Structure 1
Amino acid sequence: MGKWFLGNDRPDAYSYNGSTQYTYQYVSGSLFQNSISSDDIHQGDLGDCYLLATLSSLANDKSSYIQKMFIDNGDNTFAVRFYNNGIADYVTVDRYLPTLSNGKATYAGWGGASYSSLSNELWVALVEKAYAQINESGWIGQDNTNSYLTADPNYSRTKSNSTGINGGNEYKVMSQITALDSRITSNATQQDTINLVNSNNLVTFGINAKIFGDQYSGGHALAVTSYNSITNKFHLDNPWGSDDLDLTWQDLIKWSSSGWSYTTV
Structure 2
Amino acid sequence: MSNAVFPATVFTTQRCFNDLSTDDMRYGDMPEDRLKREFGLNYISNVVDPYTLTRLTAFDNPQSRFAGTYGGIHRGAKLSIQQCAQLLFEEMQVTSLPFSFIGPHRHLINQMLSNFQSSRGVDFHNPQLDIAYRDKLHSDYAVKKTISIMQETIGSFIDYTSRGYPQERLGDLTSAIKLSVLPKFDSLILDKINGMGITIHDVYATKIDILRLDVNNYGWKASVRFTGQDHFGLDVSDIRKQKFYQFQFFRIWFVLQRFNKFSFRPFLTTMQAVIDIKGNR
TM-score range, shorter chain: under 0.3
Compare relative contact order (CA 8 Å, sep 6+) and give the higher one, 1 or 2: 2
Structure with the greater alpha carbon radius of gyration:
2
TM-score, normalised via structure 2 length: 0.23
As a proportion of its length, which structure holds more helix? 2
As a proportion of its length, which structure holds more strand? 1
TM-score, normalised via structure 1 length: 0.24
